[in-house]
Every structure is written in C-alpha cells, then in structure tokens.
Amino acid sequence: MDNKKDVKGFLEFVYEFYKSMKAHEITLVYEGEITHQITKAFTSLTESNMAKDDEPGTVQRKVFHVMVECLQNISKHADDFTSSDFMFSGRGIFLVSKGDNEYSVTTGNAVDNDRIEELTNMLESINRMNKDELKDLYKKQMKEGRLSEKGGAGLGFIDIKRKTGRDLEYHFLPISDDTSFFLLTSTIGRDE
Amino acid sequence: METIKIQGTEDTPKVILDKEKEAMEISGRSLPEDVASFYDPILTWLDEYAQSPNKKTIFNFKLTYFNTASSKLLLDILMKLEEIHEAGHDVLIKWHYPEDDEDMEEAGEEYADIVDVPFEQVPYSL
C-alpha cells in the first residue's frame, strides 16, 4: 500500500519535472560524471537535433563549440575540489535549452570556496573585455600558457565569450562551509 | 623517414605526414580526450623532419572543428614549421576553411599573425 503510494508520488513528480523542463524549454539534462564518452554523445545528439531543425550552420557550430568547452571544463575540474563530500565528486549537471531566439548551455559543479575569488576575477575580467582584447588574450594565452596536467589550455572561458559574443553568466551557491556549487550559463543567439 | 597516417574519427583528425610523397595534412575534427598524447607523435615527427626537410614544405590544415586545447597544440605545430622556415627552408601553410565559417577563417588569420611563416587562406565549399 505504502509502496504504491510512493510510486504514484514519484510518477507525479516525474510529470511535474517534465512540465517544468518544458516550461524552461530544456532539451537535454544530465546529472552525473562527465566523461569524454558523454561529451561525444551529447554533442552528436544536439548536433543531429539542430540539423533536423535546419538550424543555420553558424549557430550549429557555435552551440557545438560552447558545449564541448563547457563539458570539458566539468570533466577536467569537477573533481578538483578537496572536500570529502562524495556526492559531488567528479560530477556535475549539464543542461541545454532552446528558446525561440537562443540556445543556452548551462553547467553546474562543486568547487572549493577558496577558488571562488579566482573564478570570479577571471570571469569578470573576460566579461569586461571587448572583441579585440579577447582576441589578444586568446593569442597570448595560446602562446604563453601551458597545458595543464588534465589537458586544459586555460582558453575555454575566453573562447565561449568570443564565440557567443555575450557575457558569461554565473552564480555560486553554498553547499557547505568549504564548498559551493558553481553554475555557469552561456547563450547563443539563433538569429545572429 | 617514417610515415604517419592516422584515420580521422568523430573526435580526432585525420593526419598524414609523408616526407617522400611531400604530403602533410591535418583535417577533420579535433577534440581528443588527451590532446597532448594525440599530438605528441606529430610534434616528434616534425622535429625529425626539421633535421633535413624537403626543398619545399606545404602543410595543409583542413579542420572543420577544433577545441581550445587543440588550438594550443596546433600552434605548437605551426611554431615547428616556423623554425624550419627560419632555418632558411621554403615553407607554406595552407589553411583551408569552409567558405561560410568565419570563425575558422579568423582562426587562420590569428595563427598567421602569431607565426612568421608564409600562410595562405584557402576557402572551400562543403
């Protein structure tokens, strides 16, 4: 009896979840470990959906670029944090939504609180830059930067801002005394 | 000298490095899981090639997509080619891009700005 009630409650939740996905125009949502396989699967899925919708080539390419950089950011950084909170280690949330005028790619993963300042400064300084400044920074970082142990080149955020032409929107929400959830959303216009 | 031939996949480019046939090409998509280990043999090959390069070296890039980590390694390749050019050899980079892909065209222009080596932009239609 109780079990039946639980199942019903769960199914009702699923329906609410579905409605809320629809309301937010979410076309893809994933929680878990972001691996290279996942990155390939999601990008090719989104690619074929965009092709089916006859999305212009420029939009398709930009969405692809942003998705890859966002997914690789999580796969490279999601387990950086030192907290023993097993629930968040190496995992993250990844979301794609499609509105009438734009696509959004949103990621979320846990970070150590002592990284918040560094991330904020980096994102703010990228957001303040104009096209030429971003181009110069990209070139400089490509020349002088070194590949991290995990194979990151420190170019992802700069590239996203350059490809989308829009600010990187982000937010930190506290998880515990030493950990926060870092959310980042990038928007690609469909008519640009 | 050894020839490198790598088949392209959905996330790694096709690579041809053949000194005898004077064929050098990187094409397709580049977002390998581990960029460093993918590009390492290519950079090593170029180091060896630089010891006694052909009379003329034409290197073709015909990529449709590369991620930021790959962009750094592509620059490393271009810098090796720049060294060959600086040593007094004839080098030409051909940067092929889909004619409607402004970002890929611009990426080529940026590389041409960074490295001092003859650089030709070649648009093509898909």
Q: Are residues B68 and A156, on separate chains, in Cβ contact within 8 Å?
A: yes
The domain locations on chain A are 2-189
Question: Is the separation of the CB atoms in B37 and B73 below 8 Å?
Answer: no
What's the pLDDT tens digit per position in A49-95? 999 999 999 999 999 999 999 998 888 776 666 555 556 666 889 99
Q: Which domains does chain B have, with CATH numbers?
A: 4-124 (3.30.750)
pTM: 0.90
Question: Is the separation of the CB atoms in A30 and A94 below 8 Å?
Answer: yes
| Chain A residues with beta carbon closer than 8 angstroms to that of B33 | 36, 151
Facing residue for B72 by CB, picked from A44, A65, A153: A153
ipTM of the complex: 0.91
- A147 band by pLDDT with thresholds 50, 70 and 90: confident
Q: Are residues A138 and B110, on separate chains, in Cβ contact within 8 Å?
A: yes
| Chain B residues with beta carbon closer than 8 angstroms to that of A139 | 110, 113-114
- A153 band by pLDDT with thresholds 50, 70 and 90: low
Q: Are residues B69 and A44, on separate chains, in Cβ contact within 8 Å?
A: no
CATH of A2-189, one of 1.20.1250.20, 3.40.50.300, 3.30.565.10, 3.30.360.10: 3.30.565.10
Mutate to test the interface with A, among B72, B76, B114 (most CBs of A within 10 A): B72
- A6 band by pLDDT with thresholds 50, 70 and 90: confident
